[in-house]
Structure 1
Amino acid sequence: MAVPEGSPVYEPGLRWSEVDRFRPAGGSYGTPVAEGAGFKYDEATLHELAKEWRGLANEYLDDLDAAGKVARAMPPGLEYASGGNAVTTQQSGAALEEALRQRIAYCENMATKYVTALGKYATAEDHATSVINQQPKGIA
């Protein structure tokens, strides 16, 4: 599969398994804003990103349950080869569990960052509203 040219475009709600996940286009992440103070994502995009990171964390959590079964694999027989194979399988399952725990923590951390950004977004909106409301009304 050829790598598309151009920068990737974030499309909220699009699943990773869909073909052409990132499409080259003129868009970018969120709504463009002027340089300087401001947000790179609009409020709806922040909500969608937090939801997607939580969803990914939940998928890894489901995988963690399956990895636990590998980590607790029992040998099929009582001979040396079966026992050695089970130990190797258990070690592999334990390594997979650890990797999945790290991925879950990362995804949850990313979701938290977007929720925090939403709080900052709301605070900035409230501040801007109060500044505007302090302005004299009508034509002076």
Structure 2
Amino acid sequence: MAVPEGSPVYEPGLRWSEVDRFGPTGGSYGTPVAEGAGFAYDEATLHELVTEWTDLSKEYRNDLHEAQVIAVAQPPGLEYASGDNAEITRKSGEALVQALTERIAYCEKMASKYVTALGKYATAEEQAKITIDQQSESIV
């Protein structure tokens, strides 16, 4: 499989099940933003990223409920083999619960960062509008 040239791309709304694994997928990191504001993504891309990280967090949270069931598994019988098997299953479930909890926290943190970036974006947009309005008043 040939590797496409250039850096990897982000395409908002892309579902990996729809990606052609044997060819370039296209996409972009969003509309380029003018220098100066310090933003790497346009506003629409930031909104999409917040949605995607939030949705991923919800998926992990759903998985967490199922993992908690595994973490309290009971042996089907009272013999030695069943008890050991249940103990190992519980340990595996506990590890899964911990991993999912960490992933949920990470996703929520990422969503929060993009929400913060949206706030900064809106503030920068408002400041630019005020500056333009002041300049146009002095021209008249």
Aligned letter for 1:51?
T
Q: Runs of 5+ in structure 2 lacking a partner?
A: none
Cα displacement string for residues 58-112 of structure 1 (whole angstroms, at most 9, x for unaligned residues): 0001111111111111101000110010000000000000000000000000000
Aligned partner of 1:134: which letter? Q
Cα distance in 2, alignment partners of residues 119 and 31 from structure 1? 18
**TM-score of the superposition, structure 2-length normalised?**
0.87
Q: Aligned partner of 1:15: which letter?
A: R
> 2: CA distance between counterparts of 1:63 and 1:36?
42
- The verdict on how the C-alpha distance between 1:5 and 1:136 changes in structure 2, with shifts beyond 3 A counting, is closer
Paired-residue identity, % = 66
Corresponding residue of 2:31: 31
Amino acid at match of 1:55: D
C-alpha distance in 2, partners of 1:17/1:40? 26
- Residues 19-98 of structure 1 mapped to structure 2, 5 A cutoff: 19-20=19-20, 23=24, 25=26, 28-98=28-98
2:30, 2:42 within 8 Å by CA — same for their partners in 1? yes
Q: Which residue of 1 aligns with 2:122?
A: 122
CA contact (8 A) 1:8 1:23 kept: no
State the Cα RMSD in Å: 2.2
- Runs of 4+ in structure 1 off by over 3 angstroms are 20-25, 33-38, 136-140
User: What letter matches 1:46 in structure 2?
Assistant: L
The 8 Å contact of residues 13 and 48 in structure 1, kept in 2 or not, is answered as yes
Task: Sort the Cα spacing of 1:122 and 1:36 in 2 relative to 1 into closer, same or farther, 3 A.
Answer: closer
Corresponding residue of 2:3: 4
1:108 aligns with 2:90: no
**Unmatched 5+ stretches in structure 1:** none
More helix by share: 2
- Name the CA distance, whole Å, in 2 between partners of 1:37 and 1:109: 23
Which one is further off, 91-100 or 14-23?
Answer: 14-23
Q: TM (normalized to structure 1)?
A: 0.87
Following TM superposition, by how much is the alpha carbon of 1:17 offset from its aligned partner in structure 2, in angstroms?
Answer: 2.9
Number of residue pairs the alignment of both structures matches: 138
C-alpha change, 1:20 and 1:35, in structure 2 (3 Å) is farther
3-state SS in 1 of match to 2:18:
coil
